Amino acid sequence: MMTVLSFIIAISILVVIHEYGHFWVARRCGVKVLRFSVGFGKPFWSFKDKQGTEFAVAPLPLGGYVKMLDEREGPVAEEEKHQAFTQKTASQRIAIAAAGPIANFLFAIFAYWALYMMGVTGLSPVVGKIDEQSPLVGQVQVGDKILAVGDESITSYRDLSWQLISHIGDTGRIELQIETPDYDKKTVGFDVERWLVGQDTPDPMRGLGLYPRTHTLAIPAIVGEVSPEGAAAKAGLKPKDLILSMNDIAIEDWRDFVKVIRDNAGQTVPLVIERAGQQQTLSIALGERTLDDGKKVGFAGVGFDPESAPEIPPEWLVITRLGPVDALFQGMKSTWDLVTMTLSSLWKMIQGDVSVKNLSGPITIAKVAGSSASGGIESFISFLALLSVSLGVLNLLPVPVLDGGHILYYSIEAIRGKALSEKVQILGVKIGLAMLLSLMLIAFYNDISRL
């Protein structure tokens, strides 16, 4: 219920913001707005204002729309023709179409401004663990602090992750600015060729091989979430079970449990647990998954209990709190960085450097909305800002049926002095719909696969 409610709240907020952008500019251009709907389907609640606009809430919370007076959709009374969308200049129609995505960007700027005013909490980018396979072995030591990726300064592991994501598919050299515990500064780096290309779910942090100090904290092997159809559920595991041993190997930490599971793909192994103070022995038939490198690893369908996770020491955290002006500039920068990263990721997906399996649909969005809401107001606002930028960028793509497609049509009309023929516009809409439906099918397929 938390996931569903968070999804509805998140989508509704962003739909209202996006559609209000269209609505606000349309009214300023003298266009009569017939309906402002949040959700699709037959409205279950609505009212009309003094200007005749119906504000409605419909049951399917996957979007919304602003319906304007339009001669293409039916006859318009002579006395109202001056209020029809089709009677406005090409520049006015471009402004109305662009207003929705622009409203999304403005919301993201405002959201980040508010966050930086309140204070953004992150994990200090101090190295706590180095993989043996890390390309930076010998260059970086435990305790070193990462200051920047290339020329981009970072203050937390979240910043580091975002900067690394922007390098997926790159060829060249990735450099990091490092500060040692003795406050000496140095530049380290490693050469890449189409970095992480070919991986269905590229993990830049794993590719870097550097992890925060939280990886040194012991996580009790207490069961949290159990997938209903997973191996753990079939074996009889329940939330709050304490794992004592598996395959005759003592389990001291959740990571020990994960390692034994991964090392025994497709095997049936004994499992000793403690439940309500009593020890029990179970038998678990592990599933298996194939990683991007072809390696098979075990899978049980079980997660740890977050309530049992250890407290992060306050000195490991960093809080970025800015004044009103600096917060505004940082909000603008964060929004712009997201815009460029989204466009870059889309281009890399077209080139084949990033897998289409990274596309997400409403199921994944709902899950992320639920987890971000449970993480607190800062987490949820950050998620809204990210989703708002994604919505704005995608709607500006020059694909008919999207805002960007309408802007393209009206721009061509402004240059030619006359609109494209109806036949050409209808063909473009058909192509746009086919593209959009294809992307939706891929996103839904990816969502279901992740489940």
- Which residues are tagged catalytic? 19
Per-residue three-class SS string for the chain: CHHHHHHHHHHHHHHHHHHHHHHHHHHHCCCCEEEEEEEECCCCEEEECCCCCEEEECCEEEEEEEEECCHHHCCCCHHHHHHCHHHCCHHHHHHHHHHHHHHHHHHHHHHHHHHHHHCEEEECCEEEEECCCCCCECCECCCCEEEEECCEECCCHHHHHHHHHCCCCCCEEEEEEEECCCCCEEEEEEEECCCCCCCCCCCHHHHHCEEEHHHHCCCCCEEEEECCCCHHHHHCCCCCCEEEEECCEECCCHHHHHHHHHCCCCCEEEEEEEECCEEEEEEEECEEEECCCCCEEEECCEEECHHHCCCCCHHHEEEECCCHHHHHHHHHHHHHHHHHHHHHHHHHHHHCCCCHHHCCCHHHHHHHHHHHHHCCHHHHHHHHHHHHHHHHHHHHCCCCCCHHHHHHHHHHHHHHCCCCCHHHHHHHHHHHHHHHHHHHHHHHHHHHHHC
